[in-house]
Structure 1
Amino acid sequence: MRCHVVTGKGGTGKTTVAAALALSLAADGGHVLLVETEGRQGIAQLFDTPPLPYEERRVAVARGGGEVKALAIDVEAAFLEYLDMFYNLKRAGRALRKMGAIDFATAIAPGLRDVLLTGKIKEAVTRREKGRLVYDAVVVDAPPTGRITRFLNVTNEVAGLARSGPIRAQSDGVMAVFRSPQTAVHVVTLLEDMPVQETADAITELTAAGLPVGSVIVNMATEPLLPAASLARTAEGRLTGADLVPALTAAQLTGIDGLADGLVAEAVEHARRWIAQDALRGDVEALGRPLVELPLSSSPIDLGCLFELADRLDGHLRDEVAA
């Protein structure tokens, strides 16, 4: 498995997960390329680097001497590269760019944009130098779940554009990689109703399209702040302010009555939210995919947090390989 596509509903943290996954795969000397497809420069922000150009640049050194390079795919640059590669029209491509023809072409044929993006991903996955693969793995920060199947299923997308020729040949080559055992589409979710539903829908669509689904990654998972024996009782409203008074008195706090009632309200809200999340965890497990949970960070995501998440993912990946 060398091509890891990371998707998820907006707001689930798929870019953070993709970055952590790249660090995990680069551990122990691996060479990994992290690809951004949506032009948001989210990877540059995570690794605290200047905005990424359309070239592969090292953004981190992983444990054991491995490295992560990153690439933000620019559609116009990819189009120029494509014209030069297949038609030897590099100069003509520059003229088209000045005329705005590239924007026009991708606007009237949206599938062409995905062909360019996925074609670059496929090229990175299969690239060789001196007979050896350049990258041990390629991680893709892909479009969200609502668009992921259409993005990856480029053969269908270009069917109306070209039935033969370089565009069709390239899309067929892309699908040969995306539908092979070397690719896995990982879906990031939260334990909330909409993300879990979109995860289920995406898995159904990807499977129907013949695209291999990898793991479901529950991001920003939290631990209960109350003892397990107290959760149900608290959620049912059977915890009262009077139950907390002895402990608050022992702590020599003032305004005990008002404080106790406020703490009870927060405890009830937390317990009910946790029980609801735990029920959704059962729905995620029922999807039948390998499952990993990443904890909610109490601080802004920085490189240290990414390495901690990478360690969690590294253990999960090793378990999958062993299984």
Structure 2
Amino acid sequence: MSARDRDWDGVRLHVVTGKGGTGKTTLAAALALALASGGRKVLLVEVEGRQGIAQLFDCPPLPYEERKVAVAPRGGDVYALAVDAEAALLDYLEMFYGMRRAGQALTRFGAVDFAATIAPGMRDVLLTGKATEAVRRRVGADRRRGGGREGSPEPFVYDAVVMDAPPTGRIAQFLNVNAEVAGLARVGPIRNHADKVMETMRSPETMVHFVTLLEEMPTQEAVDGAAEIRDVGLSVGAIMVNMVRDPLFDAASLAAAEAGDLDVESLARGLKAARLEQPEQMARELAAEITDHALRIKVEAGIRERLTRLEQPRYELPYLNDGIDLAGLYALAERLREQGAA
């Protein structure tokens, strides 16, 4: 076990965000498997209503209920929950007011939409509140106490919670909006609830991880998002670089291609010896592709340098030629573990 194996000691809430198309949900699921490995219990929370987690684990759509979806490598369990704002409102009313039946009537009249209109951010506080409640919840605790009293000797229900959060463009607003909601009520359960959410979000137990690709736009969003997260007082975790392809040629060949010094004639002779048709034309086309590949590798090296300047742990996950299935998900989880995500 290396020092990198202890990247997230003490971290209990892992928020995963990234630009659309970077594989954010996939890496959130892989991270949950990596954290659960070795006998731990992890909750994976989805807040966008897309049922992406159910698709990844090849199970029926998730209800508003924590359900076991996978056994992690070397033992350990991954549970999953799809948080719905209306169901979270009912949960909230039951926990703090004992008003579940009244709340059901309110949802029929669109109470959540109404609340979100008069108090921007209310929907988000309901979604984040469910995840932070799961972080604080202890075995045998009365859920009306918000997860159990501080200093309780009872263990936490979950060793860690992973949130598949909204895209990077709105992650700071999503996580910090609870402060705005707290300002609507000076005292009472609503204020206490918002304060508890922000206390968890701003604690050292919470990290916000960014998923990106070795491409300009998602990398810039990750860099900007990390700065925004720090500005609102939250902690930046890892940079997860997804869909990484290894170079196809050695360093000397890449340097020659980048400089335009490929020996096209030798390449054509080799193709001719292999009895391929039109070897000269094929050699020119192949040389152009090698040059494009070399230039892409150079650009990726520059992007890596930019990500290094963030001074956060960085994990690189391979591009899977066969796409993402359960086997691929477990393979990504193992790569995360090998690089320190445990």
Q: What's the TM-score once normalised by structure 2's chain length?
A: 0.89
Q: Which residue of 1 aligns with 2:241?
A: 218
* Partner secondary structure for residue 295 of structure 2: helix
Kept after mapping to 1: 8 A contact 2:138/2:156: yes
Query: Separation in 2 of the partners of 1:159 and 1:59?
Result: 34
Q: Deviations over 1:68-119 (max 9, x none)?
A: 0110001100011111211222121111122222222224433101110111
Query: Separation in 2 of the partners of 1:245 and 1:99?
Result: 73
Deviation at 1:290, TM superposition (A): 1.0
Q: Which residue of 2 aligns with 1:234?
A: 257
Query: Separation in 1 of the partners of 2:35 and 2:171?
Result: 22
- Trace 1:102-181 onto structure 2 (pairs within 5 A): 102-130=112-140, 131-181=154-204
- The answer as to 2:188 corresponding to 1:186 is no
Mean CA deviation greater in 70-79 or 240-249: 240-249
Deviation at 1:178, TM superposition (A): 1.3
Query: Separation in 1 of the partners of 2:266 and 2:328?
Result: 38
Query: What amino acid is aligned across from residue 157 of structure 2 in structure 1?
Result: V
Q: Deviations over 1:247-268 (max 9, x none)?
A: 2122221221221122112111
Q: Which residue of 1 aligns with 2:77?
A: 67
Kept after mapping to 2: 8 A contact 1:154/1:175: no
- The answer as to 2:20 corresponding to 1:10 is yes
Query: What amino acid is aligned across from residue 189 of structure 1 in structure 2?
Result: T
Identity %: 58
Query: What amino acid is aligned across from residue 112 of structure 1 in structure 2?
Result: M
The 1:155–1:104 alpha-carbon spacing in structure 2 relative to 1, beyond 3 Å, is closer
* Partner secondary structure for residue 74 of structure 2: helix
Query: Separation in 2 of the partners of 1:216 and 1:269?
Result: 26
Query: Separation in 2 of the partners of 1:70 and 1:213?
Result: 24
Structure 2: 5+ residue stretches without partners: 1-10, 141-153
1:263 aligns with one of 263, 286, 306 = 286
- The answer as to 2:53 corresponding to 1:43 is yes
1:27 aligns with one of 33, 37, 46 = 37
Kept after mapping to 1: 8 A contact 2:179/2:194: no
* Partner secondary structure for residue 242 of structure 2: strand
Query: Separation in 2 of the partners of 1:274 and 1:168?
Result: 51
Q: Which residue of 2 aligns with 1:293?
A: 316
Q: Deviations over 1:141-180 (max 9, x none)?
A: 0111111111111343314532332222111101111111
Query: What amino acid is aligned across from residue 100 of structure 1 in structure 2?
Result: G
Query: Separation in 2 of the partners of 1:122 and 1:190?
Result: 29
Structure 1: 5+ residue stretches without partners: none
Query: Separation in 2 of the partners of 1:37 and 1:285?
Result: 30
Query: Separation in 1 of the partners of 2:180 and 2:273?
Result: 68
Q: Deviations over 1:220-253 (max 9, x none)?
A: 1111112111212212322253231122122221
Q: What's the TM-score once normalised by structure 1's chain length?
A: 0.95
2:103 aligns with one of 73, 85, 93 = 93
* Partner secondary structure for residue 180 of structure 1: coil
Kept after mapping to 2: 8 A contact 1:47/1:303: yes
Q: Deviations over 1:31-61 (max 9, x none)?
A: 1100001111111111111111110111111
Kept after mapping to 2: 8 A contact 1:150/1:157: no
Query: Separation in 2 of the partners of 1:104 and 1:51?
Result: 27
1:83 aligns with one of 90, 93, 103 = 93
Deviation at 1:199, TM superposition (A): 1.0
The 1:103–1:159 alpha-carbon spacing in structure 2 relative to 1, beyond 3 Å, is same
Q: Which residue of 2 aligns with 1:57?
A: 67
- Trace 1:243-262 onto structure 2 (pairs within 5 A): 243-262=266-285
2:339 aligns with one of 302, 307, 316 = 316
